[in-house]
Amino acid sequence: MEELMKEYALGYSMLREAIEGLTEEELRYKPAPDKWSIHEIIIHVTDSEISSTSRLKKVLAEDEPILISFDQDAWANNLGYDLLDREQYLLLFKLLRSSMQPILDHLTYEQNKRVGVYVDQGRFTFKQLLGYRVQHVRDHLDQIERVKKAYQEKQNLLN
């Protein structure tokens, strides 16, 4: 659990490092019409964090709360991700993660085992849900690297 909490705390710096030095063109590049740009990935990761922070708190505060997922494609398609301020979203991500830190610092063994229930997916412990938050950032860091690579390959073809 300690390793999970450490990586959770590093999420913002990991995202920031992944986009360090990228141009606006690189950040807005879409490897395919149905794929997200790095800019859109950052907005999505933060929207997901908004939702998940609430779910994590529900599990710690309420007895076996019902947890609801959000439709990530609907959010990306209908909320104008391309128009949103990436720096504001990165700051929001940072604030959400740091707001959870005092709670995590005082987490008990019993709290790790508290459960939330997704109607469509089943029961998950707090520890599992926190693990998913860490994995979510990892997965999108990998996606960012794939988009950066696709951008470079495109540039190499043009040169």
Q: Tell me the pLDDT tens digit for each residue of 120-141.
A: 889 999 999 999 999 999 999 9
In the three-class reduction of DSSP (H, G, I as helix; E, B as strand; rest coil), residue 158 is classed as: helix
Cα 121 to the center of its chain, rounded Å: 19
User: Mean pLDDT lowest for which of 17-21, 57-61, 155-159?
Assistant: 155-159
**What's the pLDDT score for residue 48?**
96
Amino acid 58 reads: K
Cα 16 to the center of its chain, rounded Å: 13
Note the helical H segments in 106-125. 109-112
What confidence tier does 46 reach under pLDDT thresholds 50, 70, 90?
A: very high
31 forms beta bridges with none
Tokens of 108: 């008990």
What confidence tier does 157 reach under pLDDT thresholds 50, 70, 90?
A: confident
How many helices (H) and strands (E) are present in the chain, helices listed first?
8, 3
Here the CATH number for the domain that contains residue 31 is 1.20.120.450
| Structural domain of 33 | 2-158
pLDDT at 29 over 90: yes
Under 8 Å between Cβ of 56 and 49: no
**What's the pLDDT score for residue 24?**
96
- What's the mean pLDDT when you consider all of the chain? 94
What's the 3-state SS for 25-67?
HHHHCCCCCCCCCHHHHHHHHHHHHHHHHHHHHHHHHCCCCEE
Report which of residues 159 and 110 the model is more confident about: 110
Domain count, the chain: 1
Amino acid 53 reads: T
**What's the pLDDT score for residue 13?**
97
pTM: predicted TM-score of the whole model, two decimal places = 0.92
